[in-house]
Structure formats: structure tokens, C-alpha cells
Amino acid sequence: MDCVFCQSDGGQIIFSNSLFRVVLVDDKDYPGFLRVILNKHVKELTDLTHNDNLKLYSSVMACEKSIREVMTPDKINIASFGNMTPHVHWHIIPRFIGDKHFPNPIWGEVINANYAPSQQLTNQVIKLIQNLNNKLQELS
């Protein structure tokens, strides 16, 4: 199978259980960019049980809540495409007015090529990981 999420973690694992893992994506322009990845190869959400979908969605919401509490972004982008990687996963991305692509999606046209996140924002990632890990432990 040629699936990047079956062959690799997809980022730095910050939480994992039998159903999914939450990873920190290595993207210097978007500190706090998280990904929730199903631990088995499934293409569509409707292939999961209702209960597994609820658990997965609850983890996505926990990611959003933690990002908002710790990083106070101007907006959160949540995406689940799967066109390039047909494996159930969600992107949770803190966005800030003036970031590299704002208001475009991060996969769109660059608006501010000179953007670099502040050191303060980058430092908040450690607190984000701790905050999120606590929330996800409560869900498990």
C-alpha cells in the first residue's frame, strides 16, 4: 500500500490511542498545525461506525479548543480532503491575519511571502501539546 499515513506517523505524535493519533505537523510557517489521523486505512468517514465517528470528531474539536485557548488565533481552519492521501484524517490549522497565506487556505496562493511566526507563537506550541494531551486523555 502506498499510503503516507500507513507508512509513517504523519508528524510528531502527541497523542495516540487504538482509534486515532494526533500529530504536530512540521510546518515552520504554521506552528500549532495539528492533524488527527485514523490508525487504520479507511478512505471515507461513512466507512466508520457511528461511535468511531463521534470519537474522531470529538478529538478534532478538542484540538480546535486547545489551539483557541493557548494560541488565540484569528481563525481556525479545519479540513478533511483526502484527494492526495485517501486516508481519513483532519487538518486543524491556527490562522492569523497577516500569515503567509491569509485569507487564502494554506495550500493556496501566498499573500505575505515575508511572513514568519513570532517566537512567542512558536513557544506556545509546548503549552498547546500539554493542554491538548490533557483534553484527549479525558476523552479516552
pLDDT in tens, 24-68: 999 999 999 999 999 999 999 999 999 999 999 999 999 999 999
pTM: 0.94
Superfamily (CATH) of domain 4-139: HIT-like (3.30.428.10)
CA–CA dist 100, 107 (Å, integer) = 10
Amino acid 140: pLDDT: 74
Confidence grade of residue 1 (pLDDT, cut at 50, 70, 90): low
Average pLDDT, rounded, for the chain:
95
Q: Are 31 and 120 in contact (CB under 8 A)?
A: no
Cell 494560541 found at: 71
Domain residue ranges in the chain: 4-139
Amino acid 139: pLDDT: 82
**Average pLDDT, stretch 100-105?**
97
CA–CA dist 132, 116 (Å, integer) = 24
